[in-house]
Structure 1
Amino acid sequence: MHTSEACGDGRTNTCHVVAMPFPGRGHINPMMNLCKTLALRQPKNILITFVVTEEWLGYIASEPKPDSVRFATIPNVVPPERLKAVDFPAFYEATMTKMEAPFEELLDRLEPPVRAIVGCVELRWPVAVAKRRNIPVAAFWTMSASFYSMLHHLDVFARQQNLVATSLDAEAENIPGISSVHLADIETVLHQNDDQVMQLAMECISKVPIANYLLLTTVQELEPEIIDSLKAIYSFPVYPIGPAIPYLELREDYNIGDHSPDYANWLDSQPPQSVLYISLGSFLLLSSTQMDEIAEALNSSGIRYLWVARAEASRLKDKCGEKGMVVPWCDQLKVLTHPSIGGFWSHCGWNSTLEALYAGVPMLTFPLFLDQVPNSSQIVDEWKNGWKVETSNLGSDKLLAKEKIEELIKRFMDLESREGIKIRERARELKVMCHRAVANGGSSDENLDAFLRDISRPLVD
């Protein structure tokens, strides 16, 4: 076990919370953002132990955090990050079967006594571990409430009908609780994704009913009907505490150092709302051929752009032209809130979606995997702050041609067109909604306080 400070600190009145995220950037980031928020709200009598694998500690150990958040590690018992996308079902299953025992061994050594556990739903086992030890536990969900609801109803239906994920595709239209609006998304998700992944996801959802809390990284006002339906299903508190993004770090008094990266200086030199920001996630990657089509379309369009291209960045830099910049990584929320950004071409991961909503930036949606499909539908059809690029399928050889890309991004970045004005007005309305939720007295603000009060109560034997 590694801890960034001694485990035993003698603070018997301390509310000691253990956070156990799923080992992936899309889960670790929102969990850490929640922990930072809790620590800043109750700085004097809270201690949060943030548990990661040794590999993940190497990635995040140097990131700034409050003193009351410390790291602890379990061994690297799951495949390394570089192999995750090679066989994701195997990785997913390993997180459920290999991490539980070392986590329990860690709990035995932690001091002061643990008052609450916050565990990712996708790990399946944190709720059971907490229950065996009589520790209050919050199930932490890092995707939309809508996708949670879909999986819940899929799981209930599958158990009632004695079905497995492979059989659900043909039965999708018969599943109670799935609205006609979401039926096509469910069918797409079931068709495009590995049956084993869907089966494991449903098993994870099935463990939530014995938790003490469900924490959602969404905002009540973004998904009110779905959230209210979940509150009616469960007998324990369901707290929407989102967006679980690093908005606190946007404050002027939050010091991250004086160094400005090159992309920030470049953005400073661009006209307002003139830059298209492109990031298609860090997990699944497009083919080099598709990336080249996008690069050619961007250069032909004359649109300014900042493109996060991960491993392809060094290769694509030579293709970026005079109006573009390609980088391997950026501070996404700071980029999205920069006044020069006028649009976001996204894979629709939930955290990226929340950051775009918070920043008030309209989106081009390009879903690649799992929950990104229904996220795209929410953006385009429900919230109306985005357009679909095209239904994408990593399993096909279908290529999105540069001519179509060029035409679309020109229309999307036209600030003076009727549709361009309309979509940006809607994006600004959603921005206000998100900011109000985390402001003093907002829905997420009050839910965070309520959760803190709940877990801070003295334990009764």
Structure 2
Amino acid sequence: MSNLHIIAVPFPAQGHVLPLMELSQCLANHGFKVTFVNTEFNHKRIVNALADETHVGDRIHLVSLPDGLEPGEDRNDLGLLCEGMQRVMPGKLEELIEKINEEESDKVACVLADESSGWALDVAAKMKIRRVAFWPASAAALALSFNIPKLIHEGIIDDDDGTPLKSQEIELAKNLPKMKTADLLWTCFHTLATQKIIFQLLVRNSKYAKAADWLVCNSAYDLEPAAFTLAPEILPIGPLLASSRLENSKGNFWPQDSTCLEWLDQQKPSSVIYVAFGSFTVFDQTQFQELALALELSGRPFLWVVRPDTTDGTCDPYPEGYQERVGSRGLVVGWAPQQKVLSHPSIACFVSHCGWNSTLEGLSSGLPFLCWPYFADQLLNESYICDIWKVGLRFDKNESGIITEGEIKTKVEQLLGDENCKARASKLKEVAMNNIKEGGQSYKTFKNFLEWMKS
């Protein structure tokens, strides 16, 4: 029997690659063959982190395509990256599919693409191949994109670049996070030129996603029922977690430092503050030091993920004598096996940038949050955590825009002293995990999806 062959195309950011890889692993476990297509730049990072493997298991093959940028160009500049990809990647993907169809007995049956890589869905449509759009973030964030025409029609945003024309709070539906017009997904970029590129891309991608055969989302109906009611075309299949299948997350851009798990084994239950800000957040020296001092002053054990590029790297970012004073009470690692860390019994709370993967992973471990969003949908997720689910607290910035050591220390104490918040977090874990158990909504949707794929 031939294997059904799927091409999976993530958007080239860590928070997009990981959940699509988890979905690919689920599909591989059901007998599908997956060719996973990263940009050349990310392919190198992932293969290095996997210790030079180009296969994940025996059914997922990692391949790469150029992203249209020169070696030295800044791939954190999303406007530049999206334009480069749009220019080069559609033609290269088409060539890859033709090559697979010529050389292999298992022809490409389906393109499974991140909604933010809508160009790949367009290629599949032109080649008359079945297409599935995958949304790795909250259903609320995608429903917001789908509502852009309505926001333009109501005169709330500009139709060319999405700039807010009114300063107000938007509530798309009851029980959805309220959003300030200044904090919309596309308004957080440093230049108007980048904002315009991203905004127009969102509009275009919404059309591609709605035209796909399936639109699946890494969320659960019971976590955000109002969003799924507002946009019923979005189908929940989450939370997609490697840990729920007892596997390691694959597709990390940096090698995971697993020594922190042994360190956690030596800490008391529910004692450790876990601090991690995902793959994009950058701190200036002042803010970094305030956080470092707050962790020191908390008197609690802490595990802190500091990527090599977390600060600008011009000087040692830590306060003088910091490591000596903190000693073995604090552990700093470059990148952590986050799902295993969060589900470890010694973790007390999660200081997070509120990326959707981190949000789901924290919820699925029943942890309360301290929210420190950086950009894009992270502000929306903060609102879910603090206002809708009530399982976390926000930080307040001072007049210079800094979250001070005193503010951090106060909120840590407030959160860890709040038994109701911990009880709600524990309840939400049940809600999230019940969706992927047999009989749960995500489980049923995924089963129907598999049957459609095999038909």
Is the TM-score greater than 0.5?
yes
2:179 counterpart SS class = helix
CA deviation vs aligned residue, 1:169-188 (integer Å, no higher than 9, x gap): 12576989466964434442
- Identify the match of residue 443 of structure 1 among 433, 441, 445: 441
Q: Give the aligned partner of residue 12 of structure 2.
A: 23
- Identify the match of residue 360 of structure 1 among 363, 366, 374: 366
- Identify the match of residue 277 of structure 2 among 275, 280, 301: 280
Change (3 A) 1:371 1:176: closer
1:98 counterpart SS class = helix
CA–CA separation in structure 1 for the residues paired with 2:85 and 2:173: 29
CA–CA separation in structure 2 for the residues paired with 1:219 and 1:188: 24
Q: Report if aligned partners of 1:143, 1:217 keep a CA contact under 8 Å in 2.
A: yes
Q: Give the aligned partner of residue 253 of structure 2.
A: none
Q: Report if aligned partners of 1:158, 1:165 keep a CA contact under 8 Å in 2.
A: no
CA deviation vs aligned residue, 1:40-64 (integer Å, no higher than 9, x gap): 1x23xx2111111222222223367
CA–CA separation in structure 2 for the residues paired with 1:229 and 1:76: 35
CA deviation vs aligned residue, 1:99-131 (integer Å, no higher than 9, x gap): 111111111111322111111111121221111
Note if 1:304 corresponds to 2:301. yes
Normalising by structure 1, we get a TM-score of 0.84
Q: Report if aligned partners of 1:141, 1:215 keep a CA contact under 8 Å in 2.
A: yes
Structure 1 counterpart of 2:224, one-letter code:
E
CA–CA separation in structure 1 for the residues paired with 2:227 and 2:358: 20
Report 1:155-174 matches (<5 A): 155-158=149-152, 163-164=158-159, 166=161, 168-171=163-166
Q: Give the aligned partner of residue 410 of structure 1.
A: 413
Change (3 A) 1:230 1:428: same
- Identify the match of residue 268 of structure 1 among 256, 265, 268: 265
Q: Give the aligned partner of residue 38 of structure 1.
A: 27
Change (3 A) 1:269 1:367: same
Q: Give the aligned partner of residue 240 of structure 2.
A: 244
Q: Report if aligned partners of 1:367, 1:376 keep a CA contact under 8 Å in 2.
A: yes
Q: Report if aligned partners of 1:362, 1:424 keep a CA contact under 8 Å in 2.
A: yes
Displacement, 1:267?
0.7
CA–CA separation in structure 2 for the residues paired with 1:335 and 1:167: 39
Deviates more, 1:352-361 or 1:195-204: 195-204
Structure 1 counterpart of 2:291, one-letter code:
I
Q: Report if aligned partners of 1:185, 1:373 keep a CA contact under 8 Å in 2.
A: no
Deviates more, 1:111-120 or 1:192-201: 192-201
Q: Give the aligned partner of residue 456 of structure 1.
A: 454
Deviates more, 1:160-169 or 1:320-329: 160-169
2:410 counterpart SS class = helix
Q: Give the aligned partner of residue 78 of structure 2.
A: 88
Identical counterparts, % of pairs:
29
CA–CA separation in structure 2 for the residues paired with 1:82 and 1:273: 43
Change (3 A) 1:397 1:88: farther
Displacement, 1:84?
2.4
Q: Give the aligned partner of residue 333 of structure 2.
A: 327
Displacement, 1:398?
1.8
1:306 counterpart SS class = strand
Displacement, 1:88?
2.4
Displacement, 1:288?
2.0
Instruction: Give the total of aligned pairs.
Output: 424
Displacement, 1:448?
1.4
Q: Give the aligned partner of residue 107 of structure 1.
A: 97
Q: Give the aligned partner of residue 70 of structure 1.
A: 61
Change (3 A) 1:200 1:441: same
Displacement, 1:98?
2.5
Q: Report if aligned partners of 2:162, 2:199 keep a CA contact under 8 Å in 1.
A: no
Q: Unaligned regions of 5+ residues in structure 2, if any?
A: 251-255
Q: Report if aligned partners of 1:19, 1:117 keep a CA contact under 8 Å in 2.
A: yes
Structure with the higher fraction of residues in helix conformation: 1
Q: Give the aligned partner of residue 402 of structure 2.
A: 399
Normalising by structure 2, we get a TM-score of 0.85
Question: In angstroms, what is the RMSD of aligned CA positions?
Answer: 2.9
Displacement, 1:359?
0.8
Q: Give the aligned partner of residue 226 of structure 2.
A: 225
CA–CA separation in structure 1 for the residues paired with 2:409 and 2:168: 37
- Identify the match of residue 188 of structure 1 among 183, 186, 193: 183
Displacement, 1:207?
2.2
CA–CA separation in structure 2 for the residues paired with 1:223 and 1:80: 41
- Identify the match of residue 343 of structure 1 among 330, 335, 349: 349
CA–CA separation in structure 1 for the residues paired with 2:376 and 2:259: 34
- Identify the match of residue 141 of structure 1 among 123, 135, 144: 135
Q: Give the aligned partner of residue 417 of structure 1.
A: none
Change (3 A) 1:68 1:33: same
CA–CA separation in structure 1 for the residues paired with 2:298 and 2:273: 11
Q: Unaligned regions of 5+ residues in structure 1, if any?
A: 1-10, 415-419
Q: Report if aligned partners of 1:274, 1:413 keep a CA contact under 8 Å in 2.
A: no
Change (3 A) 1:51 1:59: same
